[in-house]
Amino acid sequence: MSYIKIFDTTLRDGEQTPGVTLNTAEKIDIARQLERLGVDIIEAGFPITSTGDFEAVTKIARELSEPVICALARTSRADIERAAEALEPAAKSRIHVFTSGSKIHLEHMLRKTPDEVIQASIESVRLAREYTGDVEFSAQDCTRSELEFLYRLYAAAIEAGATTINIPDTVGYGMPHEYAELIRKVRDNIPGAGDVAISTHCHDDLGLAVANSLAAVGAGATQVECTLNGIGERAGNTSLEEVVMALHTRRDHWGHETGIRTRELYRTSRMVSMYTGVAVPPNKAVIGENAFAHEAGIHQDGVIKALETYEIMSAETVGRDAGVLVMGKHSGRRAFRKTLSDMGFEFDDERVNTLFKRFKDLCDRKQKVTSDDIRALIDAETARVPETYELLSVQFQSGTGMIPVATVRLRTDTGVYEEAATGDGPVDAVYRALERIAGLPLKLESYELRGVGSGKDALGEVSIRASHTTQHDAQRETQYVHGRGLSTDVVEASARAYVDVLNKLAAGVGRVQGAPQVATP
């Protein structure tokens, strides 16, 4: 079996998903989980673009020791030096230098001649090699580029010291057989290509990113660039979980292995969905809610008799169980810890105690507590910050023909406050009342409600993205924050999500977004 490297770009290309911004603490949490998942390379950011990106790359580089930490840079001295500076604390570092390969990009975007692009690439790869022995080189838009130019460009990059050559299908234009052919041609016609790693980077504009990546692997690529849940620019990137499970489930066909601990897939996917606020569609392969659900009677009958009648991989392999009943009102702390451990979570005493308290609160409201509920409790705790604001109670009245009204009580470090407000619906009324107490005007950018499990007493999980704008003299600054709330009552879950946002703003973990300093790829 030969080894395929998994290069995760959730924190870089994934963060380019429209509407997504991750703060540094969230990026570090995701990076730690990616290390647990076993990815080989983490592309942690594009340091020249903002101080936030720079800081995130540096902190991740300092914290993680297993994966290679990679930073993106254009073919410019300033970009490469900034990437190198951000990567300084890394145990293993990579600089990813990129330019463009197609006439369309050269003429309209770079405004450079082919020779100028080659010269800048040579100088940049050489400069990057002064900082690290691991340099990746990419030319955007390879699938719409002239082959002869790509051969010259990549040959020059290899000669200058690139150790991985990445062949991006930046616009998701390639068909699997064409992309495989491109990889083959690159491998066979570029001097030195046999001595470096060949990488794929596919976008999903035509829904072919995973198919194209696999086709490239079949043609000799040894690294796949991908993101959790397939998030990324426009239609997104190759889904890590899909490509990994295709290689794993059909290893008879591919004959390759990866370093991914597949049982960590579901947990990683949920964390990314939670922090980015990008929901996973229920029918999404491998990690969607329905991926292991059997609806038709004939299917149910089949899987009861033998799972393999309709399942090509088991839910457990990707870290899921069927939301089984695991605990009840009478379960004690020791049994709770054992359940966490069986589910793959090892926490310190303090964390177990906090979760146990939340679990007991949940048992008072819900008869059957499932592994899905416990996972949701853990997720809700993961991104917690100190509670400057504590929600004490929410009451509301709404119904046909009446104006919704809500009363909320909130504890802050200066006392307990109560406010009432009316609104366009119960959630709006609650949010207005909370805003009155906190005195922080927030703009709700997105609101999402998801049911955890099934049944009338199912938990409601609310995920919101809000922004807060401040004006200091002539300077306007907008912070973006995600908040999550969990409750069997969806209005209360909504209130909790709002309070989570308030606490994050108070803790200063909002992501400040100003005008980007450079255009991102």
How far is residue 14's CA from residue 234's CA, in Å, rounded to a whole number? 10
Specify the stretch interacting with ligand KIV by CB under 6 A; choose among 163-171, 175-183, 302-310, 311-319: 163-171
Specify the stretch interacting with ligand KIV by CB under 6 A; choose among 165-173, 187-195, 268-276, 488-496: 165-173
How far is residue 470's CA from residue 16's CA, in Å, rounded to a whole number? 24
Instruction: Identify the residue whose tokens are 């992501």.
Output: 511
Instruction: Give the x/- contact pattern for Zn ion in 4-23, rule: CB under 5 A.
Output: ---------x----------
Candidates 49, 124, 138, 371; binder of ligand KIV (CB under 6 A) is 138
Taking phi over 0 as left and psi of -120 to 50 as alpha, with beta for the rest, 38 belongs to left
Distance in Å, CB of 87 to ligand KIV, minimum: 17
- The pair phi, psi for residue 88, each rounded to 5°, is -45, -45
Yes or no: say if 104 and 134 are a contact pair by the CB < 8 Å rule: no
Distance in Å, CB of 155 to ligand KIV, minimum: 19
Q: Does 136 bind ligand KIV (CB under 6 A)?
A: no
- 511 three-state secondary structure: strand
Q: What does DSSP say about strands 415-422 and 369-370: parallel, antiparallel, or unpaired?
A: unpaired
Q: Does 13 bind ligand KIV (CB under 6 A)?
A: yes
How far is residue 203's CA from residue 186's CA, in Å, rounded to a whole number? 19
Which residues, including other chains, have CB under 8 Å from residue 448's CB and lie 6 or more apart? 277, 279, 462, 463, 464
Distance in Å, CB of 368 to ligand KIV, minimum: 45
User: Number of residues in contact with ligand KIV, rule: CB under 6 A?
Assistant: 10
Token digits of residue 2: 């030969």
Specify the stretch interacting with ligand KIV by CB under 6 A; choose among 17-25, 104-112, 164-172, 463-471: 164-172
Of 242 and 500, CB closest to ligand KIV: 242
Instruction: Give the x/- contact pattern for ligand KIV in 437-476, rule: CB under 6 A.
Output: ----------------------------------------
Candidates 33, 124, 132, 170; binder of ligand KIV (CB under 6 A) is 170
Adjacent-strand bridge partners of 226: 8
Q: Does 53 bind Zn ion (CB under 5 A)?
A: no
Distance in Å, CB of 170 to ligand KIV, minimum: 3
What single letter denotes the amino acid at residue 403? Answer: I
Which residues, including other chains, have CB under 8 Å from residue 197's CB and lie 6 or more apart? 5, 163, 164, 165, 222, 223
Which residues lie near Zn ion (CB under 5 A)? 13
* Residues binding ligand KIV (CB under 6 A): 13, 98, 138, 140, 166, 168, 170, 201, 203, 521
